[in-house]
């Protein structure tokens, strides 16, 4: 290997000498936000990731982050529109034994953040029904099951959201625990909710 490197160095052309009149061009590249769990895809025009993107999880043994469950490309495909957003893993938190992971999707161009994903992990599965009821208590009207999706899914408009966002909720038992994914997004067509909900059902 050392001989090969020496040969490459000998064959490489000499670096050109910079002209004294040449001025360095300032970089306009925006840095990629750091994320412990990079998204499955960044927005159009994003810089190449510095680490390999994780594959879509299929009901992983252990949940450690939220972003891999729903990348920017996933949401773009479901909406049929190219979203110019990042996916950034926020700090996780624990409360009363429930672990909460949060993925935010800020705009790359400074617009309003369009989505937020929370993934909650609750030990045990016996409280399944009461957890669904608790998570939909803030709905302005009774939560509606999402048609065409296998699994426990709901959608509604939360009373606490003044901007008219819609909540898509997916709840699933697995690995001895209950997993809840809540995506807050702007109002969309019913088929958009169904595509996103099915992805989350498959991956949780």
Burial category of 68 from C-beta neighbours within 10 Å (exposed 0-12, middle 13-18, buried 19 and up): buried
What pLDDT is stored for residue 112 in this prediction?
67
Catalogue the long-range contacts made by 149-152 (C-beta closer than 8 Å, 24 or more residues apart). Answer: 149/194, 149/197, 149/198, 149/201, 150/198, 150/201, 151/197, 151/201, 152/128
Which two tokens mark 18? 């910079």
pLDDT at 196 over 90: yes
R_g (Cα) of the chain, nearest Å: 22
What pLDDT is stored for residue 156 in this prediction?
92
What pLDDT is stored for residue 75 in this prediction?
86
Tell which phi-psi region holds residue 175, choosing left (phi > 0), alpha (psi between -120 and 50) or beta.
left
What pLDDT is stored for residue 31 in this prediction?
39
What pLDDT is stored for residue 19 in this prediction?
38
Which element (helix H / strand E) includes 156? strand 152-156
The pTM score is: 0.72
> Quick one: average pLDDT of 172-199?
92
Q: Other CB atoms closer than 10 Å to residue 185's CB: what's the count?
A: 20
């Amino acid at each position: 290997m050392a001989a090969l490197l020496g040969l490459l160095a000998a064959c490489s052309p000499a670096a050109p000498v910079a002209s004294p009149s040449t001025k360095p061009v300032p970089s306009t590249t925006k840095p990629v936000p750091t994320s412990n769990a990079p998204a499955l895809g960044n927005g159009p025009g994003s810089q190449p990731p510095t680490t390999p993107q994780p594959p879509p999880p299929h009901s992983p043994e252990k949940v450690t982050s939220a972003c891999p469950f729903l990348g920017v490309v996933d949401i773009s495909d479901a909406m049929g529109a190219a979203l110019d957003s990042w996916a950034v893993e926020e700090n996780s938190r624990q409360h009363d034994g429930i672990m909460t992971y949060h993925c935010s999707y800020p705009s790359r161009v400074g617009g309003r953040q369009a989505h937020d994903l929370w993934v909650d992990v609750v030990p045990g599965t016996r409280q399944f029904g009461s957890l669904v009821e608790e998570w939909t208590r803030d709905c302005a009207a009774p939560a509606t099951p999402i048609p065409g999706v296998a699994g426990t899914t709901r959608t509604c408009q939360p009373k606490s959201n003044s901007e008219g966002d819609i909540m898509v909720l997916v709840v699933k038992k697995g690995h001895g625990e209950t997993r809840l994914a809540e995506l807050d997004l702007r109002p969309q067509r019913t088929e958009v909710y169904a595509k996103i909900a099915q992805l989350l059902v498959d991956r949780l």
